[in-house]
Structure 1
Amino acid sequence: MRPLSALALGLGALSLLAQAPAEPRKAEKPRFEFGIPDKPFTSEVARLIREIGERPQVVTNLEALSDDIGPRLTGSERLLKAEAWAMDKFKAYGALNVHTEAYDFGPSWTRGHDWGRLVNLNGMDLHLAAMAWSPATKGPVKGELVVLQAQTVEELKALLPTLEGKIVLMGALPKPDPKVDRRTYYSELMGLMKDLKAAVLLRGSGRPDDLLNMTGSPVPRWGRATTPTAFLSGEQADMLTRLVKRGQHPVVEIQIAGEMGKEPVQAHNVVAEIKGSEWPDQVVIVGGHLDSWDLGTGATDNGTGAMAAMEVLRAIQALGLKPRRTLRVVLFSGEEEGLLGSNAYAKAHAAEAANLQAVLIDDMGTGRILGWPDMGQEIWRAPLAQAMAPANNLGCREIGAFTQPGDTDHWPFFQLGVPAFAAIQDPVDYMKITHHSQADTFTHVIPADLIQGAQAMAATAWEFLNMPERVPHIAPAEKKD
């Protein structure tokens, strides 16, 4: 038995050793000295970036604009309230020359109670909303629904007279001819659709998850509806199309409300400045549009951009910085109805275009600013790279080799030959979810991305404000009526 006892003794000793606390290891001295952490940069642009990052007001301002004031349709009392609120903010931040500039807008429009139902078959209520500035129906309209589908322009022309007095769901229309400019093609298509004499026109939203869409204008050339028109949820548009395709003859009842103003109204752009210390007549404009559609609260289209522009001015004033050129913040209205505010501003200030150093617009939702497009102008790439450099570490480093089309407020300035840029942004859920839908609310705002966007805009604007060189202009575009 001794060998067994010796084995047991040995195992016990091992157990005791395992339970004994290990001696602490001594820290090894690094073989190389890598230096000490950087002290905070003290340049003016670095301080500007840090001010917005550490003491931002852009998020709380956007929350107030979205939740307290809410939808801001151009021509409405709520947009007037938002303009007064913005002016008070600018004045509190110490801005100079705070004012509004009026322009002729057209009649206002107020949404009414729109509704619809499928009378036969499954009897569902229809989820729809009137297209803005659409004429209203005279009470409920009832009838069999037909789907308008055409593969060619000639086929569309032949079909339109057969739809008079009917309830029409717009289906697939002719695709653009690759040999024809897309804008020209769609303009001609819209012109044809004005000949439609239907009782009601329904348009699928093209959005998922029962989301609606919105467009419209008081100006005929920007798509003013001549037929009572409403947007229908994408899922229900698909259902009705399937029913018609299977020969089920859906009968619907629709009422489109809404009230057009009896007299034309004026709309306004809000303007605020910090005067330049050396070249006050030279100007850098930063901006976004304060107006929105009325299904949501306009948080991402374009509360984010408008509040980022406001934050640029706030941060410069908070630090007491003195830009060499004048900073001008412009919060446009009428953007959603056809760039009406920025067109009016550019026209009114056309004589000053030569003194515009650059125009920076933020209008693509809550996503981070990734850079700016060169607008197809090689001569603008180097100034853009120089202006963006301080924001490179923020992720703003892309210079897009393309012309951002005329879908936002940089465009009227670009047509004057001014270096005008609309930010390239992380799309997040903007085009798929929030753009022109009832989901455009503060819930979809990403605060960190909004702050980064304000920092990137501020840094880029600061460099344009202070670089010794003038950015070259190009020849103005030929105006087309």
Structure 2
Amino acid sequence: MLSYQLLVLAGGLTLAAPVVAQQGTKADAATLAKIKDEGLNRSKVMDTAFYLTDVCGPRLANSEGLNRANEWTKKQLADWGLAKAAIEPWGTFGRGWDIEKSYVAMTAPYYHTLIGAPKAWTPGTNGALKKAVVVVKAATEAELDKYKGQLRDKIVLLNVTNVPKPSFEPDARRYTDEELKKMADFKPEAPTTARPADAEAEKRLAERKALMALRTKLADMLVSEGAAAVLSSRGGSDGTFFTSNGAPYAVDAKPVLPELEMAPEDQLRLIRLAEAGIPVEIELETRTRFQTQDLKGYNVVAEILGTDKKLKSEVVMLGGHLDSWHAATGATDNAAGCAIMMEAVRILKATGVQPRRTIRIALWGEEEQGLHGSRGYVKNHFADPATMQLLPEHEKLAAYFNLDNGAGKIRGIYAQGNEAVAPIFQDWLKPFADMGATTVTLRNTGGTDHLSFDAVGLPGFQFIQDPLDYGTRTHHTNMDTYERLPADDLKQASVVVASFVYQAAMRDAKLPRKPLSAAKPEGRM
């Protein structure tokens, strides 16, 4: 999932008449029982998750790991009997990048290994380095000037702003009944012709822009001053660190120094020693490789073909993003979502359902850098949000369901402000009340691939999942590994998703749509 998570209050839409909202929503109890039985008693979801994480490895955008995952998922979906399994290009992305070696340790005042990994799209060190360090702390561009002439041939330690503190809150949690009720009771704000400026939001945006400008200035200065490498930290605790990219993935990106992202405890120890006047020496070696022979990005798609003469040309889609960050194996972000979506279509094939509409699974590439895979797919198949010129397939999409909020079980679904669809979803959730899935909220949720569909007026939805330790321990960290995947939660989610997809494929009408929005400038959602 993207680094940001936006909660946007939906505008006021008129509730659709009950006769329309309830059209074709009666559940087929016998089929739902088969779905539950297959998904709970003969599940393959953890096997799939194992292959996506441990076998395929980290799946950074356009990396060898993502290529492995694309090939494996295409074959697996075809082996399960899905039709038209393909790796489909969505457009141009940029350079791929892989780590071939990474090592960092403190060698003075004593030896100690350190926790860290190269930042994505940074170069290697061209052999082992053993260098003294310099601490750089600067909140403004003017403060950078005092470090001129001090950085040549040094390893630069950047300041840690998110210092770990003792916490008495659990890492992992589930939604309480009170939290779910608050979601369910949410009422959209009445539409207004103009919203007052959010001074606090504008202040945060200005601060972010200033920080980005400072970071760019610093990167340029480190190169020009002849520094050897950089150690930095975005935060975390207890050996967990958050990871990101240290340079753009564009082919023509400016050169930067080798940079490792560190566990904050290790980074802070180095800083304390250096600031106490105790000489600190670091030994490190990174070997990274850029891939430029194929700059395209890809999605994996496959189908269960529809059987109704009138409706088989219409499509129900489900998906999640297959790419991940690189410091771990991307288990909760988002191998879990992909494994669940793959399990949902496996369940439907295993139970022998004959969907009226075609069911299409899509495993997106390059989500972490800006929803690129799903945006490219939507632009190629449905509409370009920049122009809102609709393609013929736009009319044929019945619904899109997304999963990308970690590994927690499904507790309900975000209706994205679509009041007409809410009673339909409430009806579909009734068979799963005993499994904890009960809540339909009119709230919007952001940061992931359903937004690409919603942006062009298509009914795209993200499920509500228990947060577990997604926000505290696994999201974009070096701890996002297979061990963070609770099997029972993934099984439950697979059954709920399979049911939603089945019912969307079987109902008489496509799901209700919100009014089309105006065209948006390029790059905005």
Identify the TM-score tier after normalising by the shorter chain: 0.7 to 0.9
State the alpha-carbon separation in 1 of the partners of residues 465 and 202 from structure 2: 29
Matching residue of 1:115: 103
Question: In structure 2, what is the Cα distance between the partners aligned to 1:159 and 1:235?
Answer: 25
Identity of aligned residues (%): 31
Residue 81 (structure 1) aligns with: 68
Q: Does 1:344 align with 2:393?
A: no
| Map 1:52-451 → 2, pairs under 5 A | 52-102=39-89, 103-118=91-106, 120-137=108-125, 139=127, 140=129, 142-148=131-137, 150=139, 156-163=140-147, 165=151, 167-172=156-161, 178-180=200-202, 186=208, 189-196=211-218, 197-198=221-222, 199=227, 200-216=229-245, 218-219=248-249, 226-243=256-273, 250=280, 252=282, 254-276=284-306, 277=308, 278-349=310-381, 350=383, 351=391, 352-406=393-447, 408-451=448-491
Q: CA deviation at 1:447?
A: 0.9
Q: Within 1, Cα distance between the matches of 2:203 and 2:296?
A: 33
Structure 2 CA distance for aligned equivalents of residues 246 and 354 of structure 1: 67
Equivalent-residue separation in structure 2 for 1:379 and 1:59 (angstroms): 35
Unaligned runs of 5+ in 2: 1-27, 163-197, 384-390
SS of structure 2 residue aligned to 1:48 = helix
Aligned-pair CA distance for 1:55: 1.9
Structure possessing the higher relative contact order (Cα contacts under 8 Å, 6 or more residues apart) = 2
CA radius of gyration, larger in: 1
Partners of 2:521 and 2:401 lie apart in 1 by 22
Shift of 1:107: 1.4
Q: Label 1:284 to 1:157 Cα distance change in 2 as closer, same or farther (>3 A).
A: farther
1:207-241 CA-partner distances (Å, limit 9, x unpaired): 222123322275469x9984432211121123234
CA gap 1:110/1:215 in 2 versus in 1, 3 angstroms: same
What's the TM-score, normalizing by structure 2? 0.73
CA offsets per residue over residues 175-220 of structure 1, 9 Å max, x none? x972418567535632442222223443325222212332227546
Which letter does structure 2 place at the counterpart of 1:411? L
Structure 2 distance, partners of 1:460, 1:181, is 41
Q: Which residue of 2 aligns with 1:26?
A: none
Q: 2:418·2:513 contact (CA, 8 Å) conserved in 1?
A: no
Deviation (angstroms), 1:368: 0.6
1:278-317 Cα distance to aligned partner (Å, 9 max, x none)? 4223322111122233333333222211111111111112
CA contact (8 A) 2:136 2:147 kept: no
Alignment TM-score, normalising by the size of structure 1: 0.80
The answer to whether the Cα contact below 8 Å between 2:138 and 2:144 also exists between their aligned partners in 1 is no
Q: Which residue of 2 aligns with 1:468?
A: 508
Q: Are residues 450 and 179 of structure 1, via their aligned partners in 2, closer, same or farther at CA, if it must alter by over 3 Å?
A: closer
Provide the aligned C-alpha RMSD in A.
3.1
Q: Distance in 2 between matches of 1:372 and 1:191?
A: 38
1: CA distance, partners of 2:401 / 2:437: 14
Q: Which moved more, 1:241-250 or 1:390-399?
A: 241-250
Separation in 2, partners of 1:224, 1:449: 44
Find the aligned partners of 1:401 and 1:421 in 2 and give their Cα distance.
11
Q: 1:192 to 1:423 in 2, by over 3 A?
A: farther
SS of 1:97's partner is strand
Q: Which amino acid aligns with 1:273?
A: E
**Which residue of structure 1 aligns with residue 498 of structure 2?**
458
Q: Is the 8 A contact 1:130 1:257 kept in 2?
A: no
Deviates more, 1:164-173 or 1:78-87: 164-173
| Structure 1 position 330, deviation (Å) | 0.2
Give the aligned partner of residue 32 of structure 1. none
1:169 counterpart letter in structure 2: L
Partner AA of 2:217 in structure 1: D
Q: Which whole-Å CA distance do the structure 2 matches of 1:184 and 1:304 have between them? A: 35
Please give the alpha-carbon distance, in whole angstroms, between the structure 2 residues aligned to 1:228 and 1:171: 18
Q: Is the 8 A contact 1:285 1:329 kept in 2?
A: yes
**Could you say what secondary structure the match of 1:311 adopts?**
helix
Measure, in 2, the Cα distance between the counterparts of 1:237 and 1:96: 51
Does the 8 Å contact 1:215/1:336 carry over to 2? no
Alpha-carbon distance, 1:169 to partner: 1.0
CA offsets 1:246-286 (integer angstroms, 9 cap, x no match): 56575545544312224443232110112232422332211
CA 1:157–1:357: 2 relative to 1, 3 Å:
farther
Could you give the per-residue CA deviations for residues 20-43 of structure 1, whole angstroms, max 9, x where no partner exists?
A: xxxxxxxxxxxxxxxxxxxxx843
CA shift in 2, pair 1:262/1:58, >3 Å: closer
Q: Distance in 1 between matches of 2:134 and 2:32?
A: 60
